[in-house]
Amino acid sequence: MVLGFADPFDALFRVQRALDQRLDSDWLEDATGGVGAFPPVNVFRQGNDFAAVIEMPGVSKDDLGLEVRGNAIRISGKKTIDYGGNASVHRRERVAGSFDRTITLPVQLDADRVAAEYRNGVLILSLPRAESDKRRAIKIG
Partner 1 sequence: MAPAQDLEVQQKRELEKKDESTIPARVFLPNTDIFETEDALTVVMEMPGVNREHADITVEDNVLSVAGRIDFSKYEKMRPVYTEYNVGHYWRSFNLSPNSFDEHKIGAEMKDGVLTLTLPKAERLKSRRIPLR
Using CB under 8 A, which of 95, 137, 138, 140 touches partner 1?
Answer: 95
| Nearest CA among 21, 20, 54 for reference residue 127 | 54
The Cα–Cα gap between 13 and 96 comes to 31
Using CB under 8 A, which of 4, 30, 88, 140 touches partner 1?
Answer: 88
- Of residues 90 and 136, the one with the C-beta less far from partner 1: 90
Using CB under 8 A, which of 31, 33, 58, 133 touches partner 1?
Answer: 58
CA distances from 75 to 28, 58, 71, 116, 124 (A): 15, 15, 13, 11, 12
- Of residues 84 and 141, the one with the C-beta less far from partner 1: 84
- Of residues 17 and 139, the one with the C-beta less far from partner 1: 17
